[in-house]
A and B are shown apart, each in its own frame.
Chain A
Amino acid sequence: MNAALRSFEAQWRARPADALQPIREQAMQRFLKLGLPTSSDETWRYTDLRSLAAQSFQAAAGEIRGTLDPNAALSLVDGTQRAATMIMINGAAPADADNTRIHGFTISSIKSLSKLDHGALLRFFPPVSDADQRRWVLLNTALFDDGLYLKITERVTVPLVILHVSSGAGAQEAAHPRIIIDAAPGSSATIIEHHVTHGEFAPLSNSNTHIALGQDAQLEHYRVYATSAGATHLDALEIHQARGSQCKQFTIALGGGLVRSSLDVYLNQSGASLESHALLVGHGDRHVDCVNIVTHAAPDTRSRQTARAIAGDTSRVIFNSKVIVKAGAVHSDSQQSCRGLLLSPSAEIDTRPQLEIHADEVKCAHGATVGRLDPDMLFYLLSRGLDRETAQSLLVYAFLADVLTGMSVTSARSAIESALIGQLPDSQTLRNFK
């Protein structure tokens, strides 16, 4: 047993039992049995956790040192869009979560809900799975202290922001943020999960979000990774979709040292549709490993996965996606497309779309390309007198543009754009353009 596993086990033994104990117990036993994922696990081939495994972790406290910059809290959505912001510190739900009133939402902490309606809560804890892309979710289930339960009850136009703040008191702490989003039939909302770091130490963040969309519900969901360069973030998102529901999901990696991001979508009933967009930016020596698995479990379901990866400096970006069409899921319609752009000879991008089809009459397309900046485009811009750096940045920006234009929260889009431009060479000139 490695040091990390031992320390997680110690934390597990030290925590008092609560209403979720049987679920937690099961998850922890499974996690201890399976251990940390290694490069021999299929979805972890590109991400080496050995140095993480050698560390001992303590539970990060659900409170912050010093004061939080309110601008950071609102940096993704401006005031004119009057977004409500829920702040989660190292995964702890806000103390007043149960009393928060936001139009169109019913909000509570997960603990409160477990007291109130234990049966309802169990829906959001699917049976433990051995799937390696869900390994850290087991640990999250066992160790999350409290989390946030959001029920969307109406059609809401104003986005809701969940600001996840990672803030450690020292090195080698870990936090396990957990969010449940429960969209009632016919409801509609936009939710932005924004992950940032506060202060010098960023705990290992092992976050999990579980989304259930009721019949005909619509959700636009963002997760934006903007933690500091040294931060390790393991994030898992699971979406279950009922009949006719529509989900538009954006995964934006702009920060962090090691980012592992997984998306598991289950299109459980006919007419369910998913649009997933990933925008993965490798900068410095960042390592971003993104894995999507979309399961078409019912007829007439639709999925679109688009990823744009750029890698500069010595960064590495991985995007693997898989579509599974279950037996009987006839007329499933799926597309997977990943384009990668290498900006430096020492950077690396790996991408592989996969298909696993067990039904007839399906339409499944996939494609992946990785290349460098188009020399014809570059020469065209240079021949008009543009600086080389500006020309390159413009082309990189253009490469990412179609993911950005798909975002309907304009202030989030411009904040993301701005953060992104900040990581491109010659960002000042580029800003002047906009």
Chain B
Amino acid sequence: MLQISDLSARVAGKDILTGVNLTVQPGEVHAIMGPNGSGKSTLAQVLAGREDYEVTRGSVIFEGRDLLAMRAEERARAGLFLGFQYPVEIPGVNNVYLLKAALNAKRKAAGEPEVDAYEFLVLIRQKMKFMQMSESFLTRGVNEGFSGGEKKRNEILQMLVLEPKLAILDETDSGLDIDALKVVSMGVNSLRDPKRAVVLVTHYQRLLDYVIPDQVHVLSGGRIVKSGDKSLAHELERRGYDWVLGAQVA
């Protein structure tokens, strides 16, 4: 599904990613953990196609295609989804318009007809109910005045409507109370199937109790310094990052 090889990237003249290697197979869930500033969000944004992040080395193959040669919108239509760590507020652009436009863009790229307005509303209502979101969401601007938790739910809602092949969720769990965390986890789990994959960027092991990862990686200094199974997350929780980083130096 996704093969990242020796990926290096620079932001504002600063090298942030320094040779990331990662392979994700269909059906898998990977967790990427690491201290603040280690480059997790940069990796997520580079994969989603943010242009002001300059790739200096390496390659990324997504579903057999050269991901780095595709524009952000093409990546999205090809089935890549980024759940933002800080979803931006866009007053004046209605949430539902955005969702519909996004879904239609994807369908158009796949040669499918536009979604019927009524069917779309039914779909949205059903997914909103699943995500325990209030009706008022339908009339509001994108993330406008949403609480932190609402923004994260909205990201997951978009993911559920778009049904991506690969979802990269950047700290979708931070700032959530336990109930919201359960709802978000349920959303992620509902997308799990043998043809899809999920990359969870997270700070805490907490989320991984609900969404069980196949592999856990530690990103530090712009590269993956350790990988393991889910027990690695527990170990990090107990011993902190210094343990891994110290081991690196030694």
Q: Are A381 and B48 closer than 8 Å at their CB atoms?
A: no
A377, A380, A402: which has the most chain B beta carbons within 10 Å?
A: A380
> Are A377 and B102 also in contact (CB < 8 A) when A382-B73, A385-B77 are?
no
Which of the candidate stretches A16-24, A172-180, A230-238, A387-395 sits at the interface with the other chain? A387-395
In Å, the complex CA distance between A433 and B49 comes to 25
Q: B88: which A residues are within 8 A, CB to CB?
A: 374, 376-377, 380
Which of the candidate stretches B24-32, B90-98, B235-243 sits at the interface with the other chain? B90-98
In Å, the complex CA distance between A380 and B142 comes to 10
Q: A374: which B residues are within 8 A, CB to CB?
A: 88
B106 close to A (CB within 8 Å): yes
In Å, the complex CA distance between A277 and B155 comes to 35
Beta-carbon contacts under 8 Å, A384-431 to B? 384-388, 390-391, 394-395, 397-402, 429
Q: Are A385 and B73 closer than 8 Å at their CB atoms?
A: yes
B57 close to A (CB within 8 Å): no
A125 close to B (CB within 8 Å): no
Minimum CB–CB distance for B162 against chain A, Å: 7
Beta-carbon contacts under 8 Å, B188-211 to A? none
Q: Which residue of A lies closest to B107 (CB)?
A: A385
In Å, the complex CA distance between A383 and B50 comes to 9
B51, B72, B109, B162: which has the most chain A beta carbons within 10 Å?
A: B72
Beta-carbon contacts under 8 Å, B114-155 to A? 141-142
Q: Which residue of A lies closest to B92 (CB)?
A: A398
> Are A388 and B73 also in contact (CB < 8 A) when A398-B141, A433-B97, A433-B101 are?
yes
In Å, the complex CA distance between A400 and B109 comes to 30
In Å, the complex CA distance between A231 and B244 comes to 71
Q: Are A397 and B92 closer than 8 Å at their CB atoms?
A: yes
Q: Is the interface on chain A under 10, 10 to 19, 20 to 34, or 35 or more residues?
A: 20 to 34
Q: Are B98 and A384 closer than 8 Å at their CB atoms?
A: yes
Interface 0/1 of B70-86, CB less than 8 Å to A: 01110111000110100
Q: A398: which B residues are within 8 A, CB to CB?
A: 90-93, 141
In Å, the complex CA distance between A386 and B82 comes to 14
A377, A381, A385: which has the most chain B beta carbons within 10 Å?
A: A385
A119 close to B (CB within 8 Å): no
Minimum CB–CB distance for A102 against chain B, Å: 36
Q: Are A375 and B101 closer than 8 Å at their CB atoms?
A: no
B158 close to A (CB within 8 Å): yes
Minimum CB–CB distance for A49 against chain B, Å: 36
Q: Are A386 and B73 closer than 8 Å at their CB atoms?
A: yes
B92, B100, B141: which has the most chain A beta carbons within 10 Å?
A: B92
In Å, the complex CA distance between A391 and B106 comes to 14
Q: Are B158 and A395 closer than 8 Å at their CB atoms?
A: no
Q: Are A379 and B98 closer than 8 Å at their CB atoms?
A: no
Q: B52: which A residues are within 8 A, CB to CB?
A: 375
Q: B61: which A residues are within 8 A, CB to CB?
A: none
Minimum CB–CB distance for A221 against chain B, Å: 24
Q: Are A384 and B162 closer than 8 Å at their CB atoms?
A: yes
> Are A377 and B77 also in contact (CB < 8 A) when A384-B102, A385-B109 are?
no
Q: Are A401 and B101 closer than 8 Å at their CB atoms?
A: no
Q: Are B82 and A383 closer than 8 Å at their CB atoms?
A: yes
Interface 0/1 of A352-375, CB less than 8 Å to B: 000000000000000000000011
B221 close to A (CB within 8 Å): no
Q: Which residue of B lies closest to A384 (CB)?
A: B102
In Å, the complex CA distance between A401 and B100 comes to 19
In Å, the complex CA distance between A375 and B45 comes to 13
Q: Are A387 and B90 closer than 8 Å at their CB atoms?
A: no
Q: Which residue of B lies closest to A429 (CB)?
A: B101
Q: Are A382 and B91 closer than 8 Å at their CB atoms?
A: no
B87 close to A (CB within 8 Å): yes
Q: B81: which A residues are within 8 A, CB to CB?
A: 383
> Are A382 and B76 also in contact (CB < 8 A) when A375-B52, A387-B105, A433-B101 are?
yes
A374, A383, A395, A401: which has the most chain B beta carbons within 10 Å?
A: A383
Minimum CB–CB distance for B170 against chain A, Å: 11
Q: B71: which A residues are within 8 A, CB to CB?
A: 382, 388
Q: Which residue of B lies closest to A380 (CB)?
A: B88
Q: Which residue of B lies closest to A404 (CB)?
A: B92
> Are A402 and B92 also in contact (CB < 8 A) when A375-B52, A384-B76 are?
yes
> Are A380 and B87 also in contact (CB < 8 A) when A375-B52, A399-B92, A401-B92 are?
yes
Q: Are A385 and B106 closer than 8 Å at their CB atoms?
A: yes
Minimum CB–CB distance for B10 against chain A, Å: 17
Q: Which residue of A lies closest to B80 (CB)?
A: A383
Q: Which residue of A lies closest to B90 (CB)?
A: A377
Q: Are A382 and B98 closer than 8 Å at their CB atoms?
A: no
In Å, the complex CA distance between A394 and B100 comes to 13
Minimum CB–CB distance for A387 against chain B, Å: 6
Q: Are B101 and A383 closer than 8 Å at their CB atoms?
A: no
In Å, the complex CA distance between A391 and B100 comes to 13
Q: Are A383 and B72 closer than 8 Å at their CB atoms?
A: yes
In Å, the complex CA distance between A115 and B246 comes to 97
Q: Are B49 and A383 closer than 8 Å at their CB atoms?
A: yes
Q: A399: which B residues are within 8 A, CB to CB?
A: 92
> Are A380 and B84 also in contact (CB < 8 A) when A385-B76, A386-B105 are?
yes
With A382-B76, A394-B101 given, name 8 new contacts (CB 8 A).
A377-B88, A379-B50, A380-B90, A384-B162, A386-B102, A397-B92, A399-B92, A400-B92
Q: List 6 A-B contacts (CB under 8 A).
A: A377-B88, A379-B48, A382-B49, A385-B106, A386-B98, A433-B100
